[in-house]
Amino acid sequence: MNSGGEEATAQEGVHDGETALRALADYLAEDMKACNREIVARMQSEVPLIPQLAAHLVAAGGKRLRPLLVLAAARLAGYDVQGDDMRHVGVAACVEFIHTATLLHDDVVDNSQLRRGLASANAVFGNKASVLVGDFLFARAFQILTADGSLPVMAILSAASATLAEGEVMQMTTQNDLSTTVDRYLQVIYGKTAALFAAACETGAVVAGADEHTRAALRDYGANLGMAFQLVDDALDYAADQAVLGKTVGDDFREGKVTLPVLAAYHAGNEEERAFWVKTIEDNESQVDADLDRALDLIAKTDAIGVTMARARDYAEKACQALEGAHISSGDDKLAGLLVAVARYTAVRSR
């Protein structure tokens, strides 16, 4: 059990991290305003349901972390706006559309009822509308890319989109399968989450005309940040306050998803405890309400959340180390410091 001092330190870390995330958004406020304008403009359509459903997601808020990473990476690598040239803003909006499209599709696949504390789009508008509007947003993303005209940017984001789909398919094939290895699980979360973080950072560097070394360093920063982000997401499914998290706690368990908290608890358990995990994860349709409480007890008993969060902290530190290796042609040490703080916040966040 943590001492009071350790708990206070952890809470201060969360507070400082949230401050850093806000500070990063504030530091890039003009770029983010331009990006939000681009997002709103590009989600318009003569078909009323499309902007209506898209606006539902916009109203739900969100961290806008992925477009923020594009903007930050571009500025860090020395991007300087010339006249009306706001390429980094267009690419940032493109990344957000790709992300939002995957959210719409994922919520249908997972039958999720909450997203960012509000009813999910599929819960409000139905599965068919969510899938089709997700398709529309993918198309809009690639319209932005063709207008930008950069083959390297297009190559990075089209590859990331394919990797996202592969990650989701890999997750589907590992569902209900406790023979899944930790390495396989890490492949899944790289595909479904970290690949787009990496692409966001690398495309920002490309827009800025950065050299290969800086592109690689920023790509590695994004990849490790994304890994930390998803590990914490998976931990929060068993540890968070639903009102704070903004989605239903225990969804992964009910769906039989094999995540690191489950793998850690399963491998650390005794024979009876392993039998429980086999029954509830590999045959999740047989679950009863009391099973989630039992799962939470076993997660706590085996410190599976601690194991997962420790792994997230390792990735966050790798992100910081990658950033230290970048050639910061902008000379913007404050921006670099904010990105370091955001990485460390990602590994201790509570939502």
Helix (H, G, I), strand (E, B) or coil at 172: helix
Helix 65-76 / helix 4-27 crossing angle, nearest 10 deg: 70
- Which residues fall within 8 angstroms of residue 189, CB to CB, at 6 or more apart? 167, 226, 227, 230, 231, 234
Q: Which residue has the higher pLDDT, 327 or 341?
A: 341
Helix (H, G, I), strand (E, B) or coil at 85: strand
Intra-chain end-to-end CA distance of the chain, in Å: 22
Mean pLDDT of 263-278: 98
Q: Could you list the residue range(s) of the whole structural domain that residue 282 is in? A: 10-346
Q: Which residue has the higher pLDDT, 242 or 152?
A: 152
CA distance 169 to 188: 9
- The mean predicted confidence, pLDDT, of the chain is 88
User: Percent of the chain having pLDDT more than 70?
Assistant: 88
Write down the pTM of the prediction: 0.90
Yes or no: say if 198 and 224 are a contact pair by the CB < 8 Å rule: no
Residue 111 pLDDT more than 80? Answer: no
DSSP string, 196-260: HHHHHHHHHHHHTT--HHHHHHHHHHHHHHHHHHHHHHHHHHHHS-HHHHSS-TTHHHHTT---H
Residue 261 pLDDT more than 50? Answer: yes
Mean pLDDT of 330-340: 88
Give the alpha-carbon dihedral of 2, 5, 6, 10, to 10 degrees.
130
Yes or no: say if 220 and 195 are a contact pair by the CB < 8 Å rule: no
Whether residue 72 is contained in a domain is answered as yes
CA distance 117 to 130: 18
Whether residue 3 is contained in a domain is answered as no
- Which residues fall within 8 angstroms of residue 338, CB to CB, at 6 or more apart? 20, 23, 24, 27, 72
Segment among 82-96, 107-121, 228-242, 299-313 with least mean pLDDT: 107-121
Segment among 32-36, 246-250, 280-284 with least mean pLDDT: 246-250
pLDDT reported for residue 8: 36
- CATH number of the domain residue 58 falls in: 1.10.600.10
Helix 212-239 / helix 182-189 crossing angle, nearest 10 deg: 110
Count structural domains, the chain: 1
Mean pLDDT of 136-162: 96
pLDDT reported for residue 85: 76
Q: Token match 């559309």: residue?
A: 97
Whether residue 111 is contained in a domain is answered as yes
Residue 236 pLDDT more than 60? Answer: yes
Give the pLDDT confidence of 287-324 residue by residue, as tens digits.
999 999 999 999 999 999 999 999 999 999 999 999 98
pLDDT reported for residue 19: 81
pLDDT reported for residue 71: 98
User: Percent of the chain having pLDDT more than 90?
Assistant: 70
Yes or no: say if 351 and 244 are a contact pair by the CB < 8 Å rule: yes
pLDDT reported for residue 7: 36
- Which range scores top for mean pLDDT: 198-202, 282-286, 322-326? 198-202
- Alpha-carbon separation of residue 321 from 62, 187, 220, 225 (angstroms): 27, 21, 9, 11
Mean pLDDT of 120-130: 82
Whether residue 4 is contained in a domain is answered as no
Helix (H, G, I), strand (E, B) or coil at 129: helix
Whether residue 138 is contained in a domain is answered as yes
CA distance 204 to 340: 17
Whether residue 351 is contained in a domain is answered as no
Mean pLDDT of 232-247: 75
Residue 20 pLDDT more than 90? Answer: no
Q: Is the dihedral of CA 245, 29, 33, 336 positive or negative?
A: negative
Rg (CA), the chain: 20
pLDDT reported for residue 208: 94
